[in-house]
Amino acid sequence: MQKLAPYSAHSEQSKGRLYKESSPTYRSEFQRDRDRIIHSAAFRRLEYKTQVFVNHEGDLFRTRLTHSIEVAQIARSIAREMDFNEDLTEAISLAHDLGHTPFGHSGQDTLNACMKDFGGFEHNLQSLRMVDQLEQKYAEFPGINLTFETREGILKHCSKKNARDLGDVGQRFLEGGQPSLEAQLTNIADSIAYNNHDVDDGLRCELITVEQLRETRLFARQCETVSKLYPQLDGRRMINETVRRMINHLVVDLIETSRQALLDSGVRDIDEVRSYGRPLLMHSDEVAKDSLELKQFLRQNLYQHYRVLRMSKKAERVISKMFHAFMDDYRILPTQYHALSSEMAGDSESALARVVADYIAGMTDRFAMTEYRRLFEPGELT
Ligand code: MG
């Protein structure tokens, strides 16, 4: 059994599941959540979804699946060191991207724009929708019926408008308050993972260079250490030595700064963490500044690179054209959506739009491209 700090999430004190179930026999409640997530269809789809690069660009680039595993690795190491609940941390990490559309950020922005008059589209909320409603695995309830604590962690952000319909899990977006330390941790581990793997992937596909990256303090400092220790080293091994040190630097700073913050705060349990006025997990001011600088560098030089933008524009066209085609005539949706859609179309246009958004959001990159061809290319099989 893992030793748990008093302010961490304790499985036996969970606020429970939407549908009451008996406790698992040889697992904790959070282990069961983690296992349910791994066995979900949405989790398997992460393999063919991407964040910045598109799936077919090369075998070595991160997918949302490997990204989620990296987030879980970073977050679990920290959780274990700080006596937070490692099972809950892992469950949140593996589930945090389940609601993402195909084609990363541009896919999500496009779907949100398409859904403007129908309640919008938020990927965090969609991740929650995935585990609460869209997965169909159990006889007695929709979704995979996770604990409050895992659902709280999945819902990283939420608009006030949507939070009102969510019951207890939406409460903190209306009244203020923080999620568990495990949720706060996963959130930061997410950005440690993607900043570093985007550096790595960006260098791999030569959209950015080591010389450019030396303009950022975070990269420059570790790169300098590596060159001093190994003056002959270059290429991949030099990059890998640098990136692993960057991750380590961020993790160590996070542990040390947060440990002090927890001590200073005097919080004694998870309720005090939730009602504390600000997050208790954080980087030092200096490292926070350096991380922000790296983030801005990536935005300018990688996410806005013309080759990335071309793909984003393509994604916009694919998603919005599909969305409008399905809205024009729901009968071209696959049969299993018909009952739902015809019922809903009679009901209201926004209910139909939600069915279409769920269908599109669930697509992987490659499925979306195939479906697009089936819809719009006359020579393609339907
Ligand atoms: Mg993520």
> What gap in Å lies between CA 360 and CA 138, rounded to an integer?
23
* Integer Cα distance of 327 and 355 in angstroms: 10
Does a structural domain hold residue 9? no
Q: What is the pLDDT of residue 346?
A: 60
Do residues 360 and 250 both lie within one domain?
no
Question: In this structure, are 372 and 282 located in the same domain?
Answer: no
Name the residue among 213, 159, 189 with its Cα closest to residue 92: 189
* Domain end residue (candidates: 269, 289, 306): 306
Residue (of 375, 278, 253) closest to 324 by Cα position: 375
Q: Residue 341's pLDDT is what?
A: 61
| 8 A C-beta contact, residue 113 and residue 320 | yes
**Shared domain check, 222 and 191:** yes
Same domain, 69 and 147: yes
Domain total of the chain: 2
Going from the Cα of 176 to the center of ligand 1, the distance in angstroms, rounded, reads 23
pLDDT above 80 for 283: yes
Ligand 1 centre to CA of 191 (Å) is 7
Q: Which domain range does residue 342 map to?
A: 309-376
- What is the rounded CA–CA span in Å between residue 93 and residue 315? 26
Q: Tell me which of 306, 329, 351 is where a domain ends.
A: 306
**Site of tokens 């939730």:** 274
Report how far residue 315's alpha carbon sits from residue 369's, in angstroms, rounded to the nearest whole number. 9
**Confidence check: pLDDT of 337 > 90:** no
Instruction: Please list the residues that pair with 143 across neighbouring strands.
Output: 136
Q: How far is the CA of 228 from the centre of ligand 1 (A)?
A: 33
297 and 316 housed in the same domain:
no
Backbone angles phi, psi at 361, to 5 degrees: -60, -30
| Separation of CA 341 and ligand 1 centre (Å) | 31
Look at residues 306, 328, 352 and tell me which one is the last residue of a structural domain: 306
Residues 123 and 221 in one domain: yes
* 196 CA from centroid of ligand 1 (Å): 12
CATH number at residue 166: 1.10.3210.10
CA of 55 to the centre of ligand 1 (A): 16
Is 19 within a domain?
A: no
Q: What does the mean pLDDT of the chain come to?
A: 93
Q: Report if residue 2 sits inside a domain.
A: no
How would residue 380 be classed by pLDDT, with cut points 50, 70 and 90? confident
- Share of the chain residues as helix, strand and coil, in percent rounded to the nearest 5: 70, 0, 30
315 located within any domain: yes
Would you say residue 345 has pLDDT above 60? no
Expressed in angstroms and rounded, the spacing between residue 96 Cα and the centre of ligand 1 is: 6
Alpha carbons 49 and 53: distance in angstroms, whole number: 9
The pLDDT value recorded for residue 52 is: 75
One-letter amino acid at 339 equals A
Whether residue 298 has pLDDT greater than 60: yes
In a shared domain, residues 169 and 257 = yes
Mean pLDDT of all residues in 307-323: 93
Residue 15 lies in a domain: no
Q: Is a pLDDT exceeding 70 seen at residue 167?
A: yes
Task: Report residue 140: phi and psi, to 5°.
Answer: -100, -10
Same domain, 201 and 322: no
Rounded Cα distance between 78 and 195, Å, is: 17
Cα separation of 23 and 41, whole Å?
A: 24
- Distance (Å) from CA 125 to ligand 1 centroid: 14
- Cα of 331 to ligand 1 centre, how many Å? 34
